[in-house]
Amino acid sequence: MNRRLKLLSVFIVSLILAGCGTFRTASAPSGDWTSESSHIMSVYRVWQGTPYQWGGRSRKGIDCSAFTQRVFSDLYRTQLARTTDQQSKQGRAVQSGELMPGDLVFFKTGWQSRHVGIYIGQGDFIHASQSKGVTRSSLNNPYWSKRYWMSRRIDR
């Protein structure tokens, strides 16, 4: 069985398990953040290494806001706006010390440039990086910690 087929199998199984009520919702949090992080990581493994492409929305190339949009759609069946700016206005603000897996983390990467990723726990987040494609990074990395802007929690 080739690697892509294995990853697709993991993704399909995680979607099936999503129907079992293991995900946190606005009205009834599961409290099992380790499980939540595992589900997010199963989707991440499908996308890991996908190259960055501004405006891209597929495994051939994807940008940061399309990546968060796809993960939320696939995992939570929740619709996020298409752009980072629009996503930064969704949900409710969360302080950096209160982050939970599934929260969106935003960065100011330039004068007018913004970036978004999904927090997965233990100070890490996943995102579509211009230099590395879809990858995992640490909020404690000096590059990201200096550029951290805000976080949002989306009802799902």
**Annotated catalytic, 39?**
no
CA triple 116-63-91, angle to 5 deg: 35
Residue bearing tokens 């892509």: 4
Query: What is d(CA 106, CA 84) in angstroms, rounded to the nearest whole number?
Result: 8
The verdict on whether 115 is a catalytic residue reads yes
The C-alpha torsion from 36 through 95 and 53 to 14, rounded to 10°, is 10
Q: DSSP letter at 130?
A: T
Angle at 9 between CA 34 and CA 74, to 5 degrees: 60
Q: Considering 39, 70, 114, 115, which one is annotated as catalytic? A: 115
Q: Which of 40, 43, 64, 128 is catalytic?
A: 64
- Choosing from 24, 127, 152, 153, the catalytic residue is 127
Q: Which residues are catalytic?
A: 64, 115, 127
